[in-house]
Amino acid sequence: MTTDLAAGAPLDTSALDELRAALTGTLVAPGDPAWDAARLPWNVLVDQRPLAVVQAADAHDVAVTVRWAAAHHVPVTAQPNGHGASRLLDGAVLVRTTALDDIWVDADARVARVGAGVRWGDLQVALDGTGLTGLVGSNPDVTVVGYCLGGGLSWFSRAHGTGAGSVRAVEVVDATGTHRWVRGDDPADADLLWALRGGGGDFALVTAVELDLFPAPQVYGGLLAFPAEAAPAVLRAFRQITRDAPEALTTWAAVLHLPDAPVVPEPMRGLSLALLLATYLGDPGEAERLLAPARAAGPVLRDTFRPLAPGEVGLLAEEPVDPSPAVLAGTRLHTFDEAAAARLLEVAGAGSGTPLMQVQVRHVGGALARERVPSAAGTADEPYLLSGLAIVPVPEAYGPVTGALDGLFAAMDPWSTGTAPLTFLDRDETVARAYPPATVDRLRAVKAAVDPAGLFRSNRPVNP
């Protein structure tokens, strides 16, 4: 016997056998030899304990699982990968969508349709040679669906808005077990589409998504690495560049503290660096003109700037792609002036002793301040997003790391709005920190309308 969490009643384990028999894919349950590997998310720090893991072979398996979960009053969730794993999925049947990997592109119509297991890196590679791009973020390994359901902040969001705003339609299995496309054709569907564009995984299990693609005949980008002593000058150049940058230019500044560990090559071990990263949708010469203040900020230790194919954009930040024990959190900044930059370096620069691996400020704003289509992700006109990323090598490091993140955000409080995109929420936070009260109320109303029994469980639930 195991517990049926939603109804509080015991669930006979033979019910799991019934589900297993109905699937083309695999069901892994506690006690199976593959259990620990199957339940582990990308973020291996999160010791999640689902009721069972369904490795769906296709969309039909997803529908079978949802209908089974509804019949047995068991919550169900999808976790394609687990970059955004939170501890809120315990007790739910967890569906892995990795095998839903179809990619279809119509370059003339500037649209892509991808399955719920497709990672951004794979979609972008499929766009090589088309002169088009999707609204890819900094990591090629996150899924298109997981990212867009959470809003999705792209390298190209200053030009085109959020990933969620690029979603044309979503293929779902809804709480009635119906497998269908949500295109916003009637008011109820329009509400659901609005919620799926940034409100997270609380409304349906998604099997595919249809997205707008954007012209990108030329993309230029890369990173510059400087010694840590150049950090004040790099942040000064960053502020100068971002003061009146065109929307085609996206610039991020960061301080990076490489761990003193064997995973880092010997000359780099324990080193702190200042970074400036950028992409430009246009001519490389114009990009270099706009970025000139950065090149003057100090001795350049590494320079990866070059014309990029769409498939290379997600790689330029050189973020970890292998499963990692990571903590990521962010907050929007209404101002990033000299005092803010100085405070940031005081708490997270070289010599601060911070256990955080990277503290980054992204230039945002631009098209993010305008509504492209109705979406829960909405608009945000703050010009900057501050984030902290840490790898927690041993469990004892968790306390100091989360303490350092709290310290960073407390130190930057005078310049913060306290809000963050859903995909930059900290650990077990819910949508209430990401969105204004009116959006949260509307998300709750949609949840009540489409999933009154609370069948779907998001990592960022709309209800506390």
Binding site for ligand FAD (CB under 6 A): 42, 77-85, 97, 116, 137-139, 142-143, 145-147, 149-150, 152-153, 200-201, 205-206, 319, 326, 328, 421, 423, 458-459
Query: Among residues 146 and 298, whose Cβ is nearest to ligand FAD?
Result: 146
Report helix, strand or coil for 253: strand
Residue of closest CB approach to ligand FAD: 201
Query: Among residues 91 and 421, whose Cβ is nearest to ligand FAD?
Result: 421
Task: Output Rg (C-alpha) for the chain, integer angstroms.
Answer: 22
Query: Among residues 80 and 222, whose Cβ is nearest to ligand FAD?
Result: 80
Distance of alpha carbon 155 from alpha carbon 163, whole angstroms: 10
Q: If we measure between CA atoms, which residue out of 279, 307, 314, 376 comes closest to residue 119? A: 314
Q: What are phi and psi of 191, to 5 degrees?
A: -65, -45
The distance of closest approach from Cβ of residue 146 to ligand FAD in the complex, given in angstroms and rounded to an integer, is: 3
DSSP-assigned states of every residue in 269-298: TT-EEEEEEEEESS-HHHHHHHHHHHHTSS
Q: Where are the beta strands (DSSP E) in 48-110?
A: 52-55, 76-78, 93-96, 103-106
CB-neighbour burial class of residue 224 (10 A; exposed 0-12, middle 13-18, buried 19+): buried
Query: Among residues 230 and 425, whose Cβ is nearest to ligand FAD?
Result: 425
The distance of closest approach from Cβ of residue 209 to ligand FAD in the complex, given in angstroms and rounded to an integer, is: 9
The distance of closest approach from Cβ of residue 117 to ligand FAD in the complex, given in angstroms and rounded to an integer, is: 8
The distance of closest approach from Cβ of residue 78 to ligand FAD in the complex, given in angstroms and rounded to an integer, is: 3
The distance of closest approach from Cβ of residue 1 to ligand FAD in the complex, given in angstroms and rounded to an integer, is: 27
Position 126, amino acid? A
The distance of closest approach from Cβ of residue 86 to ligand FAD in the complex, given in angstroms and rounded to an integer, is: 7
Query: Among residues 147 and 384, whose Cβ is nearest to ligand FAD?
Result: 147
Scan for tokens 């349906």, then name that residue. Answer: 204
- Cβ contacts of 91 within 8 Å, gap of 6 or more: 3, 5, 49, 50, 51, 74, 75
The distance of closest approach from Cβ of residue 200 to ligand FAD in the complex, given in angstroms and rounded to an integer, is: 5
Query: Among residues 267 and 464, whose Cβ is nearest to ligand FAD?
Result: 464
CB-neighbour burial class of residue 147 (10 A; exposed 0-12, middle 13-18, buried 19+): buried
Query: Among residues 261 and 342, whose Cβ is nearest to ligand FAD?
Result: 261
Report helix, strand or coil for 195: helix
